[in-house]
Amino acid sequence: MNMTEIIAKKRDGATLSEAEISFFITGVVNGSIPDYQSSALLMAIYLNKMNARETTFLTRCMMESGDQIDLTKIPGIKVDKHSTGGVGDKTTLVLTPLVAACGVPVAKMTGKGLGHTGGTMDKLESFKGIRTALDQKAFIKQVKKIRLAVSGQSGNLVPADQHLYALRDVTSTVDNLSLISASIMSKKLASGADAIVLDVKVGNGGFNPNVAAARKLAKTMIRIGQQMDRQTVAVISRMDQPLGRAVGNSIEVIEAIETLKGNGPKDLVDLSLELGVQMLMLSGKFSNKVAARKLLKQQLKSGAALKMFKKFIKAQGGDVAPIMDYAQFPSAKYKLEVNAPKSGWIKRLNARTIGLGSMQLGAGRQKKSDPIDLGAGIYLHKKIGEKVTSGERLATLYTNKKKTLQEVANLMLPAWSIGTKKVTLKSVVVEVL
């Protein structure tokens, strides 16, 4: 078997066998296949697509390309959650302590942000001293002890994806149903969860431009999960505007803490509750969605979820003082307001533009190796459906790079479309599959 023939086969629209897919993934990981051949195959897959069988083979080979975490020592059904990526998406910070406070163990592997989307690992770095890279033993020990651990992926978890994702990023081959599904599901499966809740975003802030595309991605990943004997559910949620009002790192952590204190924005609360209901149902501890929702709301109201959050930050070595005193979080030296050019109602708020702006202010990274500014970000004073008067604040930009402020402010203004008629806000949860 050789790589040139495999590339030619996919280039000509044929179906790859399991042996050919396995040959490719093995070669990617052991370095015997050069990046130019991997890139060529990725582009052939991008253009000619993979069928369902090929996608499942690809997922399995990627999953088996490195370490697989064994969570069987933790009693009970371990449910993981994964978001396809968005702007202002701090759901993991709210949801994981919330579900753990309901008595369900949560062992969450998470990632760093790239491009216009953020990552939970970066947000957690807002806590001085926190360990975001737990080894397998420490990870399992912590879940057994306090029911919750959140860690970055171990160095050798799905190495095939680490390599292929970097290549896809620079060859414009990220946006492909099979490649996205295999990338996400291989990591979830290798992370050892028994059941998976997927948060599939729809709108300009994520990968899926419309509900049909999101549904297709959700169904593909559900099918892969089921074929691997993992119960998998998908929630399709709106990402046509950022989630909540805060976009950045420490600014998002503050919004997540406020949500755990019972003062969260409606869209973030609604999504966290829906994902929480699905996680509790999959855990096997609930058979009634109404009862599951009621318990989640109780844990928010009673402060139990906030208590769990503190416990988890402390267990991972983080300084918990900023939870009660936000001034202790990393902050930005400079700020600038973006003001409304006219009066009316916000019709649209482009999530992607806001995500890119936040990245330029320093909150995100263009390349994997870029450092990030934990204090940078954007606070949105006006979102879809809200009334605004000319000159009123639309957003406040925060940064430590003074020079970028005006430039980013100019780029941000077109993110808001202001209309003359009242707009009805659609629910953040589109559907559950």
Interface positions with ligand URA (CB under 6 A)? 84-85, 165, 174, 179-180, 183-184
Question: Closest-CB residue for ligand URA?
Answer: 183
In whole angstroms, the minimum distance from the beta carbon of 85 to ligand URA comes to 5
Tokens of residue 303, six digits: 């402060």
Q: 54 near 178, Cβ under 8 Å?
A: yes
CB atoms closer than 10 angstroms to residue 4: 9
Residue 109 dihedral angles phi and psi, to the nearest 5°: -95, 135
Is 183 or 249 the residue whose CB approaches ligand URA more closely? 183
Name every residue whose Cβ is closer than 8 Å to that of residue 288 and which is 6 or more positions away in sequence.
none
Instruction: Tell me how far CA of residue 261 lies from CA of 148, 324, 343, 352, in angstroms.
Output: 19, 10, 33, 28
Nearer Cβ to ligand URA, position 106 or 177? 177
CB of 165 to ligand URA, least distance (A): 6
- Is residue 183 annotated as a catalytic residue, yes or no? yes
Least Å distance, CB 187 to ligand URA, is 6
219 is catalytic: no
- The residue from 60, 78, 82, 201 that is catalytic is 82
List 198's β-bridge partners, or say none. Answer: 82, 234
Largest CA distance in the chain: 67
Nearer to ligand URA, 39 or 339 (CB): 39
Q: In terms of DSSP H, where are the helices of 208-318?
A: 211-227, 250-260, 266-282, 289-301, 304-315
Catalytic, 301? Answer: no
CB atoms inside a 10 Å sphere around CB 324: 10
For residue 250, indicate whether it is catalytic.
no
223 is catalytic: no
Provide the H-helix boundaries in 342-402: 351-361
Among candidate residues 10, 78, 168, 382, the one labeled active-site is 168
How far apart are the C-alpha atoms of 76 and 262, rounded to whole Å?
A: 29
Which residue is catalytic, options 126, 151, 183, 191?
Answer: 183
Q: Which residue has the tokens 């909150």?
A: 363
Structure-block tokens of residue 148: 């919750």
Nearest-approach distance from CB 119 to ligand URA, in angstroms: 10
Residue 146 or 236 having the CB closest to ligand URA: 236
Spatial separation of the C-alpha atoms in residues 313 and 303, rounded to whole Å: 16
Residue 157 or 332 with smaller CB distance to ligand URA: 157
Task: Give the active site residue among 123, 187, 245, 383.
Answer: 187
Distance in Å, CB of 164 to ligand URA, minimum: 9
Catalytic residue among 122, 161, 240, 373: 161
**What span, in angstroms and rounded, lies between the C-alpha atoms of 409 and 36?**
39
As a whole number of angstroms, the distance between CA 266 and CA 272 comes to 10
**Whose Cβ is closer to ligand URA: residue 125's or residue 199's?**
199
The DSSP letter of residue 427 is P
Minimum Å distance from CB 263 to ligand URA?
A: 30
Catalytic positions, written as ranges: 82, 161, 168, 183, 187
